[in-house]
Structure 1
Amino acid sequence: MFERLFIRANSWAVILLLAAMACIVFCNVTLRYLTNYSIVWAEEVARYMMVWLAFIGAGLALRQGLHVAVGNLHHILPRTGARILRLAIVILLLGFSLVMVWQGWEYLTRMGRQLTPATRISFAYIYAAMPVGFALFAIHLSLIARHYLTEGNLEAPFSEGETPAADRGAIS
């Protein structure tokens, strides 16, 4: 239940960010060509939305197997060796994610006093994408880790078994 709600909330956040970004860019381009007027803050806001989109979408991409991976070694190793390799991968990814949450928070606190040029908001809101995104990534990884370790694929089925991967609210 938690996993499904988590995936849907994360998916909707990505969808809403992408829709807002598309609307802002479309309106800005339309205004520029029809009235020769451009929205001053549109490019900046769209750029920062893209940053947030990339960070909070990384965990969903992991679930769908969309990150670059090399699976040849994993497939030629014996079952025990493949599990050990997958365990090492999960530990490295979780460790990296936690380090990035910490480093992202450190960066946010150091650089967050600066203001963005057009909107004059604190860069802390933009830099928060890194710790939030990597925390979400770590949660996604934790939720699929057991299935990944035992089965070797990333799309873990729900315990209830009622919804396929494409219907879980994940972006396909």
Structure 2
Amino acid sequence: MRRIERAFVTLNGAVLVLGLAAMTVILGWNVAGRYLTGNSLTWADEVARYSMIWLTFLGCGLALRHGAHAAITNAQDALPTRGQLVLRGLILLVLFGFFGFMVWVGIDYMNRMSIQRSAALQVPMRWIYAAMPAGFALMIVHLALIAPQYLRAGLQHSDEAPLG
């Protein structure tokens, strides 16, 4: 199971790196073309914007896994061990519920935008808005994978020992 989890995390990270690299090349090419030839790619800004949206949602799960999202741990740390365990369990339930709700809302919103097209690329906006349910679904998977460790030990309080 740990091997599958590592492969999943590696794949998620590789998609982010490739997406960021592609976005960098497209924007670099566009800037160079604009200043060297006076011409720019009409679709480059749109690709950059939509890539950033997708990269943000696809990267949220990895950020969650490493405890990079904002968190307030004072209340948790002040509780006795049993209270910490109960609070962590409650936090996990709330997060699973919220992420599931956001997948549902994202799918609904994605379907509502299915008739709209982007200006430059003429891509159906449903594919742009699909980033939201995809990202929250990934967050559910990442949370499910780290939940046992989180219940046992809580989030790490330093950058030296991230979850995962």
Q: When the two structures are superposed, what TM-score results if normalisation uses the length of structure 2?
A: 0.92
Q: Which amino acid aligns with 1:67?
A: H
| Superposition map of 1:19-168 within 5 A | 19-153=21-155
Runs of 4+ aligned residues of structure 1 deviating over 3 Å after TM superposition are none
SS in 2 for 1:93: helix
Secondary structure class of the residue paired with 2:72 = coil
Deviations 1:45-81 (A, max 9, x none): 1100000000010000011111011111111111111
Distance 1:131 1:107 in 2: 9
Q: How many residues align?
A: 159
Partners in 2 of 1:20 and 1:89 — Cα distance? 36
Q: Secondary structure at 1:32's aligned position in 2?
A: helix
SS in 2 for 1:115: coil
The unaligned stretches of length 5 or more in structure 1 are 155-163
Any conservation in 2 of the 1:75–1:82 contact (CA below 8 Å)? yes
* Cα deviation, residue 109, structure 1: 0.9
Offset, 1:153? 2.3
- 1:94–1:132 Cα change, 3 Å: same
Q: Does the 8 Å CA contact 2:57/2:136 hold for their aligned counterparts?
A: yes
Deviations 1:72-128 (A, max 9, x none): 111111111111111111111111110011111111111111100000010011011
| CA distances 1:118-169 after superposition (whole Å, capped 9, x unpaired) | 0001001101101110000000000000110111126xxxxxxxxx969x7x
- Output the amino acid matched with 2:110: L
Tell me if the contact between 1:24 and 1:42 (Cα under 8 Å) persists in the aligned partners.
yes
Q: Is the 8 A contact 2:23 2:48 kept in 1?
A: yes
- How far, CA to CA, are the matches of 1:57 and 1:10 in structure 2? 8
Q: Percent identity?
A: 47
Distance 1:113 1:12 in 2: 32
What is the CA–CA distance in structure 1 between the aligned matches of 2:89 and 2:114, rounded to whole Å? 36
Q: Please, which runs of 5 or more residues in structure 2 have no aligned partner?
A: none
Contact kept in structure 2, 1:56 and 1:136, CA below 8 Å: yes
Once residues 30 and 59 of structure 1 are traced to their aligned partners in structure 2, the CA distance between those partners, rounded to angstroms, is 34
